[in-house]
Amino acid sequence: MNLLEPLTLGPAGHARAPSRVMFGPHETNLARRRAFSDRHVAYYRRRAVGGAGIVVTETASVHPSDWPYERAPLAAESANGWASVARACHAEGALVLASIGHAGGQGSSAYNQQPLLAPSRVPEVNTREVPKAMEAEDIDAVVAGFGAAARLAVSAGLDGIEVNGGQHSLVRQFLSGLTNQRRDGYGEDRLRFAREVLEGVRDAAAGAVVGLRLSCDELAPWAGITPDTALEILAGLHPYVDYVVVVRGSIYSVSATRPDGHTPPGFNLELSRRVREALPGRVVVVAQGSIVDVAMAQDALASGAADAMEMTRAQVADPELVRKVRAGAAATVRPCVLCNQTCQVRDPRNPVVSCIGEPSSGHETEDAPLGGATARPQRVLVVGAGPAGLEAARVAALRGHDVRVADRAPRPGGAVRAAAAGAGRERLARITEWLASECSRLGVELDLGRELGVGDIEAHDGPVLICAGSRDGRREYRVEPGADVRTARSVLEQPDALPGGPAVIWDPVGGPIGISAAELLAGRGADVALVTHDLIAGTQLARSGDLADASTRLQRAGVALHKRSRLVAVTPSAAVVEDVFTGEVREIEASVVIDAGHRLPEDTLWRAHPAPPRAGDAVAPRTMYEAVLEGRRAALALDAVGAPVLAVHGAAS
Ligand SMILES: Cc1cc2nc3c(=O)[nH]c(=O)nc-3n(C[C@H](O)[C@H](O)[C@H](O)COP(=O)(O)O)c2cc1C
């Protein structure tokens, strides 16, 4: 089996996917109210153009009792949107299936002001909300909702249905001893609800493809679904389905379904293999779980771990993944680095799905295409070979400009070199490596190890883009003579240069840098303490889903945590901290203090007259996402393409 081979699916084997790569169902926040939008159509179409064999649309709620997040599609409002997605993707050859589901006790009561529905009154682990145990009429209504949703999807022109029995799903809640403690027929036979749902869907969508996404390991063996019990469940349910997607995770392990780079890629492949061996050959098995490398996907297919590969985040990162592999250019696929920074949309900011390496993902209807030759090729000088500079250079070169990138560092990567030094974050470097290799392929001159001055900028005959990154921030604490204070960035880049003795990390940001530094040093046997003014270390990691795991790793590594504490002074032998609630001052022994605080823009060259356009940390130090986005915009602005480049001109503040 090969990724590029077609795959036939469905009761009559009539549905044909042009490749064995699935784009799985995921929350995008692209809906307008509860309906699929033009943004969805463009988003899915782009993956179909890129060669995805099967596009599974965002899970639509089958019943109004389910409204798990503000812009969660509702099946009853999805007919037009589904029809548009089907038309757009069918034109490119892809199959389109509707994921339908009900989040049950894992939903939210905030939007419809109704109690959560669940098999039993088990408080939800994450929201702590007690759901209403479903009564017979609730069950009947939801089962009927599944049937109605399936009928609507097929009549809208979709090729079939995928029933969600995965991480966030009522179907799984009924199947699991963790959440189903009923004593009626739905508790004595925990498969009954799923069977009724699948029967209803089969009837309503006669002749169409029916799939089941199933958590085959809830990672809670005391009562949850285990790989062994998953096989028993599937023995009862497989007659109703044409394919199964093998996923894992549950209420106690929300981040385990799509973990970040701390979990090795392909973590479900052996589980998938077991399921495939147990099921009749008629049922197609799809593997899932951080399958982001084409070679891994190919090997897993060839070795029989599955019949198809779900590569969701990989195609958020590179919508053209399959097309590139087909063209023999797998090496040019933009990597997914499993950072979860912008493809995880359930955060308080309610952002739309995107990607730090491909910021046009999710913004297909707004962003100008990168391609198209410039009408006026120019000699472009980019200062800085971090993500902003490399992306600016790549895009400018793609459009036919003659580009040189200069950086005082001997290697490209900028701040990403430090960020990628953290344990579990090594993959981050793949983005800047990819950018550098694309730059080389496009003929960009990389002029490394060269520090440019104002004179070089003024002497350059053509546009200059300042992507010079950041410099150290202000120290808002006293540093006594003889005290050793370093930046987290320098320590991550050169951990060997640290003196022996206890190290204290001051982390007023709560992002990945301070936590990574703590993990790195503790992993090397150092005595490490982390000081934060927050009540939880690494608060910002909640956005990428790594917060709970990071806390576990810090505790296991023996990092001493000093919470709600502010650094006020550093002496040669101690960090002096103050309790932010009580003002109590105490000393923590330290031979070195490592500052993981905010940084400032490196804007020395930008202050030269006339201030050239700038991008990324040189505007304001943020994340790789903004760096790539603004580097790209700055390059497009050379030809007056795309959104105006904001806040890049004008007097320095
Ligand atoms: C932003 C995002 C939201 C997701 N939401 C859902 C969801 O609502 N239902 C679901 O079954 N899977 C959801 N997933 C899981 C994906 O379908 C997929 O299984 C997951 O991303 C793992 O595949 P990958 O490692 O190839 O990305 C989501 C994934 C992402 C990245």
183-218 pLDDT tens trace? 999 999 999 999 999 999 999 999 999 999 999 999
| Residue 145 · residue 62 · CB < 8 Å | yes
CA separation for the pair 545, 340 (Å, rounded): 7
Helix (H, G, I), strand (E, B) or coil at 562: strand
Residue with tokens 């179909």: 48
Nearest to 15 by CA among 210, 201, 244, 198: 210
Residue 64 above 80 pLDDT?
yes
Using the mean position of ligand 1's atoms as its centre, give its distance from the Cα of residue 298 in Å: 21
Report d(CA 542, CA 305) in Å as an integer: 32
List of residues 6+ apart from 310 with CB closer than 8 A:
21, 22, 23, 24, 245, 286, 287, 288, 291
Instruction: Write the DSSP assignment of 206-254 as a string of letters.
Output: TTSEEEEEEES--S-TTTS--HHHHHHHHHHHGGG-SEEEEE---TT-G
pLDDT of res. 12: 83
Q: How far apart are CA 176 and CA 218, in angstroms?
A: 9
Residue bearing the CA closest to ligand 1, atom 29: 26
Residue type, 230: A
Could you tell me where the beta strands, DSSP code E, fall in 454-546?
A: 464-466, 470-471, 478-479, 485-487, 503-506, 528-531
Which residue reads 């993944």 in tokens?
A: 321
340 CA closest ligand 1 atom index: 31
DSSP string, 294-351: HHHHHHHHHTTS-SEEE-HHHHHH-TTHHHHHHTT-GGGSPPP----SSS---STT-P
pLDDT digits 0-9 by tens, 384-440: 999 999 999 999 999 999 999 999 999 999 999 999 998 788 999 999 999 999 999
Report the distance separating Cα 387 and Cα 359, nearest Å: 12
Confidence band of 347 (pLDDT split at 50, 70, 90)? confident
Instruction: Give the Å distance between the CA of 287 and the centre of ligand 1.
Output: 13
Which residues neighbour 135 within 8 Å (Cβ) at sequence distance 6 or greater? Answer: none
Which of 69, 73, 87, 63 is CA-nearest to residue 31?
Answer: 73
Taking the C-alpha atoms of residue 342 and residue 361, their distance in angstroms, rounded to an integer, is 10
Give the pLDDT confidence score for residue 646 in this predicted structure: 44
Question: pLDDT for 191-200, tens place per residue?
Answer: 999 999 999 9
Sign of the four-CA dihedral 376, 378, 383, 388: positive
Position 208 scores a pLDDT of 97
**How far, in Å, CA of 116 to CA of 193, rounded?**
17
Nearest ligand 1 atom to the CA of 168 is 9
CA–centroid distance, residue 167 to ligand 1 (Å):
9
Cα 420 to middle of ligand 1, angstroms:
24
Separation CA 569–CA 480 (nearest Å): 7
The answer to whether 60 and 67 are in contact (CB under 8 A) is no
pLDDT band at 368; cut points 50, 70, 90: confident
Closest residue by Cα to atom 31, ligand 1, is 343
CB 418 within 8 A of CB 492: yes
Atom of ligand 1 nearest to the CA of 166: 11
Going by alpha carbons, the residue nearest to atom 28 of ligand 1 is 26
Residue 495 has pLDDT above 90, yes or no: no
Half-sphere exposure for 561 (CA within 13 Å, toward CB): 21
Residue 166 and residue 160 in contact, taking contact as beta carbons nearer than 8 Å: no
Counting from 1 in the atom list of ligand 1, the atom nearest the Cα of 58 is: 8
Give 266-286 pLDDT, tens digit per residue: 999 999 999 999 999 999 999
Residues sharing a CB contact under 8 Å with residue 319, sequence separation 6 or more, in sequence order: 46, 47, 49, 50, 358, 361
Cα–chain center distance at 521: 26
Cα dist from 88 to 59, 157, 208, 313, 644, whole Å: 19, 11, 19, 21, 29
**Alpha carbons 209 and 225: distance in angstroms, whole number:** 25
Pocket test for ligand 1, best of 74, 312, 322, 543 (most atoms within 8 A of CB): 312
User: How far does the centroid of ligand 1 lie from the alpha carbon of residue 338, in Å?
Assistant: 12
Beta strands in 46-179 (DSSP E): 54-61, 95-101, 117-118, 132-133, 160-165
213 Cα nearest atom in ligand 1: 11
Shortest-distance Cα residue to atom 20 of ligand 1 = 258
Question: Rounded to an integer, what distance in angstroms lies between the CA atom of residue 78 and that of residue 60?
Answer: 8
Query: Of all helices (H) and strands (E), which one includes residue 489?
Result: helix 488-493
**Residue of 497, 496, 396, 385 lying closest to 449 (CA atoms):** 385
Q: Is the peptide bond before 610 cis (omega within 30 degrees of 0)?
A: yes
Is the per-residue pLDDT at 645 higher than 60?
no
Quote the strand ranges of 18-172, DSSP E: 21-23, 54-61, 95-101, 117-118, 132-133, 160-165
Contacts of 311 (CB under 8 A, 6+ apart): 21, 22, 23, 291, 292, 297, 321
Question: In the prediction, which pLDDT does 653 show?
Answer: 28
**DSSP secondary structure letter of residue 424:** T
- How large is the average pLDDT for residues 222-238? 98
Q: Is residue 589 helix, strand or coil?
A: strand
Taking the CB of residue 60, how many other CB atoms lie within 10 A of it? Answer: 29
Ligand 1: which of 57, 213, 258 to mutate, most ligand atoms within 8 Å of CB? 258
The residue whose CA has the least distance to atom 30 of ligand 1 is: 26
Query: Which of ligand 1's atoms lies nearest the C-alpha of 56?
Result: 17
Ligand 1 atom closest to Cα of residue 289: 25
Which residue ranges have their beta carbon within 6 Å of ligand 1? 24-27, 59, 164, 166, 213, 247, 257-258, 288-291, 310-314, 343-345, 353
Kindly state the average pLDDT of the residues 305-312.
98
Closest-CA residue, ligand 1 atom 6, reads: 26
For residue 383, name the pLDDT band (cuts at 50, 70, 90). Answer: very high
Tokens 């992993």 — which residue? 523
User: What are 585-626's pLDDT values in tens digits?
Assistant: 999 999 999 999 999 999 998 887 678 899 999 999 999 999
Nearest ligand 1 atom to the CA of 25 is 17
Distance from residue 237's CA to the centre of ligand 1 (Å)? 23
- What was the pLDDT predicted at 346? 84
Counting from 1 in the atom list of ligand 1, the atom nearest the Cα of 310 is 26
Taking the centre of ligand 1 as the mean of its atom positions, its distance from the CA of residue 25, in whole angstroms, is: 6
Mean pLDDT of the chain: 95
**Ligand 1: distance of its center to the CA of 155 in Å?**
26
Question: How far is the C-alpha of 635 from the C-alpha of 355, rounded, in Å?
Answer: 19
Q: How many residues does the chain have?
A: 653
pLDDT surpasses 90 at 159: yes
Q: Using the Cα atoms of residue 232, residue 233, residue 236 and residue 242 in order, give the sign of their dihedral.
A: negative
Tell me how far the alpha carbon of residue 346 lies from the centroid of ligand 1, in angstroms: 12
d(CA 191, CA 387): 50
pLDDT of residue 28: 98
Residue nearest to atom 5 of ligand 1 (CA): 26
**Atom 2 of ligand 1 has which residue's CA nearest to it?**
26
Rg (CA), the chain: 26
Ligand 1 atom with the smallest distance to the CA of 314 is 26
- Distance between Cα 134 and ligand 1 center (Å): 27
CA of 127 to the centre of ligand 1 (A): 20
Q: Binning pLDDT at 50, 70 and 90, where does residue 643 land?
A: low
Pairing of strands 15-17, 7-9: antiparallel
Taking the CA of residue 292 as reference, the ligand 1 atom at the shortest distance is 26
Q: What is the pLDDT of residues 89-138, one digit of tens each?
A: 999 999 999 999 999 999 999 999 999 999 999 999 989 999 999 999 99
* Percent of the chain topping pLDDT 90: 90
CA distance 432 to 123: 44
Atom of ligand 1 at shortest distance to CA of 288? 23
Cα-to-centroid distance, 406 and ligand 1 (Å): 39
- Mean pLDDT to the nearest integer, 453-470: 94
d(CA 462, CA 479): 44
* Of 257, 290, 339, 350, best ligand 1 pocket probe by most atoms within 8 Å of the beta carbon: 257
Which atom in ligand 1 lies closest to the alpha carbon of residue 313? Answer: 27
- In the reported structure, the alpha carbon of residue 289 is separated from the centroid of ligand 1 by a whole-number distance in angstroms of 9
CB 172 within 8 A of CB 180: no
Mutation test residue for ligand 1: of 22, 23, 27, the one with most atoms within 8 Å of CB: 27
Name the residue of 3, 20, 26, 57 to mutate for ligand 1: max ligand atoms within 8 A of Cβ: 26
User: Quick one: tokens of 90?
Assistant: 């069918």
